[in-house]
Structure 1
């Protein structure tokens, strides 16, 4: 049986009225009669007793209805669930990133996401490190790929997507500029330039811009920067040094800055964040795509 035949038969079996069945299905009344007659010829017996005033199921019609109805309801339920899930992906999702290499993963995931969900809109925003959680808390971002650690009660923390080796940006005339590598202990002999912001968690600053070496020596801090390009300019002007992802050298060049790799320092982890109160199917699906893109990159 074709789907339209099943739906026409079951609707007439419920309505027991050709005109109401036609109106409900959006068909001409004559078309309903044609479909039922064709079905009866295929079955080999009448399915309805019908007069000018009365329509009723025959015993064979009742048997067919009772056999088809549970399966039809199950199919319709599955279709409704799929439609509900599809509506969950419609509309905008706002995704933030804090570094260019994070942005590349977000953009690649956005292309895949929109290919799978054409009704979805992806808006991508760069998040400044002087306020890494502000846009999310202001309901401007639904999902973010950023530097860890983040430990906040209102922010859900997803998996680490990738990790980057650490480097140290130093002025070209700095004593460390000719070193093949540096250690965190070497920072005690420098002035550290860090991001400055009123809403930056202290534990996050300590993880990226430490104030003491592993042995306990103090690390002097110099001028703070609001934007990343300020950090590069301050280092290039000889105002201090600044830790960063080693990959930053590929994206930010300055004639007065060299990047030296760290040895013995843990990598910088980049992971996913989203507001606990706004987790949706779109957020979960997009987060999964970012993880997949980062693994295959």
Structure 2
């Protein structure tokens, strides 16, 4: 008894239509009929009642179907698993993100990815602000969606998925709190809270020491994580530049998010190791881009 004949029988038992069965299996209607007749000759019993209008399983056919389905599904699962492993689409995929909006996108992609590749579970972890590429370089992450810029020949950067207006987080009583917007020049004489840990190029991009005209911006205390930075802002220890999207996800009493009118946006892009573009990384990247494109459209 050939596996293809079993597949024809089980498909016809679902469709109860020779034409649709042939379309699903990409064979002719005559090939479907030949397979069924072959099985019926072998078993010495009819599998289907056939008329010009209906196709129905016989009692014998119903019993055969009930016996075959569990084993056939086990074979399908085994073949699918072998294909996944053979094509590098099995095993844990470790994904990092920075920012709640990035986490939501990656969680949606992870759910869709696991549905498509059940042998490849996805682990989601937030990327710490003070060490954005440490886990990636240590082999503890396969890819991540985090703030630009990124550096190093060992890191590959993909497309930008989020581009948000930059804002200044200030305490509620600050003179900027009632402004509709602020300028980079307004930072002259102010004190910026900065992050401890990131390389200088990242700090220069997000926490400038001078205004565009060359006026100094005082360096305030440092923070390791977002919550510590917000606590320092509320305490009046300094101001903190961030994405305006943070106002949606991290608003709380004592804080105001004032947009900049002349600062570059805060951008978030995909990153992975230059030598780490495995089949499952490529598959996940494609899925993230597809989901992001669908949302944008």
Report the TM-score, using the length of structure 1 for normalisation. 0.70
Aligned equivalent of 1:109: 109
**Would you say the 8 A contact 1:148–1:268 is kept in 2?**
yes
Aligned equivalent of 2:65: none
Mapped partners of 2:221, 2:190: distance in 1: 13
Mapped partners of 2:83, 2:194: distance in 1: 49
Deviation at 1:254, TM superposition (A): 2.8
Aligned equivalent of 1:250: 248
Aligned equivalent of 2:222: 224
Aligned equivalent of 2:271: 273
Query: Residue by residue, what CA displacement relative to the aligned partner does 1:121-167 show, whole Å, maximum 9, x if unpaired?
Result: 10000011011111111111000000001121111111111211111
Deviation at 1:261, TM superposition (A): 0.7
**Would you say the 8 A contact 1:95–1:122 is kept in 2?**
yes
Mapped partners of 1:84, 1:230: distance in 2: 43
Which structure: larger Rg? 1
Which stretches in structure 1 are left out of the alignment for 5+ residues? 6-37, 39-78
Deviation at 1:189, TM superposition (A): 2.8
Aligned equivalent of 2:123: 123
* 1:84/1:175 CA distance change after superposition, 3 Å: closer
**Would you say the 8 A contact 1:184–1:262 is kept in 2?**
yes
Task: Report the secondary structure of 1:104's partner residue.
Answer: helix
Aligned equivalent of 2:210: 212
Aligned equivalent of 1:293: 291
Q: What aligned pairs does 1:230-241 form with structure 2 within 5 A after superposition?
A: 230-241=228-239
Report the TM-score, using the length of structure 2 for normalisation. 0.70
Mapped partners of 1:173, 1:180: distance in 2: 15
Q: What aligned pairs does 1:3-22 form with structure 2 within 5 A after superposition?
A: none
Aligned equivalent of 1:144: 144
Task: Report the secondary structure of 1:177's partner residue.
Answer: coil
Mapped partners of 2:85, 2:238: distance in 1: 52
Mapped partners of 1:140, 1:238: distance in 2: 37
Mapped partners of 1:272, 1:253: distance in 2: 26
Aligned equivalent of 1:262: 260
Mapped partners of 1:177, 1:189: distance in 2: 16
**Would you say the 8 A contact 1:191–1:219 is kept in 2?**
yes
**Would you say the 8 A contact 1:144–1:272 is kept in 2?**
yes
Task: Report the secondary structure of 1:152's partner residue.
Answer: coil
- RMSD over aligned CA atoms reads 2.2
Which stretches in structure 2 are left out of the alignment for 5+ residues? 6-37, 39-78
Deviation at 1:84, TM superposition (A): 6.3
Mapped partners of 1:294, 1:216: distance in 2: 38
Query: Residue by residue, what CA displacement relative to the aligned partner does 1:38-85 show, whole Å, maximum 9, x if unpaired?
Result: 8xxxxxxxxxxxxxxxxxxxxxxxxxxxxxxxxxxxxxxxx99x9367
**Would you say the 8 A contact 2:87–2:279 is kept in 1?**
no
Mapped partners of 1:138, 1:263: distance in 2: 39
**Would you say the 8 A contact 1:93–1:120 is kept in 2?**
yes
Mapped partners of 2:225, 2:254: distance in 1: 18
* 1:189/1:293 CA distance change after superposition, 3 Å: farther
Mapped partners of 1:173, 1:250: distance in 2: 20
Aligned equivalent of 2:25: none
225-234 vs 207-216, which moves further: 207-216
